[in-house]
């Protein structure tokens, strides 16, 4: 029974770390996107693009650093929390690269294609449904 309490308390601490980190990451994302709101390149908003690229870069750096330094206990705060709140695209990028690195190139490509197309499709479906209900 004491083992269960340790596991429960660790899970609760992980959830709190993710929540705190998520709030920090979301505020950082909002700040960066707001600061770059008027900047565009080729008609594309660079704030969100910048967040996605920077978040993916940082996801790679933090993943390797915490693994090599034995700091995996910080991953709920740093990876799922701050970087996940900053951009979920970074988690998607890590998943895709992990599949590729394991030699599952076909699965990685399928994952990328499905993630992008189904996410955009889900967004369009949600918009159309919401417009039908509340429009």
> 0.85 exceeded by the pTM?
no
- d(CA 35, CA 29) in angstroms, rounded, equals 10
| Residue at 72 is within a domain | yes
- d(CA 114, CA 116) in angstroms, rounded, equals 6
Closest CA to 87 of 55, 123, 112: 55
The total number of structural domains in the chain stands at 1
- d(CA 52, CA 44) in angstroms, rounded, equals 13
pLDDT at 43 over 80: no
Residue-range definition of the domain harbouring residue 59: 2-87
pLDDT in tens, 9-27: 999 999 999 999 999 999 9
| Residue at 132 is within a domain | no
Closest CA to 108 of 118, 117, 96, 119: 96
pLDDT in tens, 93-130: 999 999 999 999 999 999 999 999 999 998 899 999 99
């Amino acid at each position: 029974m004491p083992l269960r309490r340790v596991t429960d308390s660790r899970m609760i601490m992980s959830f709190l770390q993710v929540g705190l980190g998520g709030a920090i990451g979301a505020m950082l994302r909002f700040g960066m996107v707001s600061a770059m709101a008027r900047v565009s390149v080729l008609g594309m908003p660079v704030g969100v693009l910048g967040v996605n690229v920077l978040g993916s870069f940082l996801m790679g750096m933090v993943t390797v650093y915490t693994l090599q330094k034995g700091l995996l206990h910080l991953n709920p705060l740093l990876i799922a929390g701050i970087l996940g709140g900053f951009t979920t695209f970074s988690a998607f990028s890590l998943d895709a690269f992990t599949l590729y690195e394991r030699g599952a190139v076909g699965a990685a490509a399928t994952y990328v294609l499905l993630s992008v197309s189904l996410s955009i499709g889900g967004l369009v479906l949600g918009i159309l449904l919401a417009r039908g209900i509340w429009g």
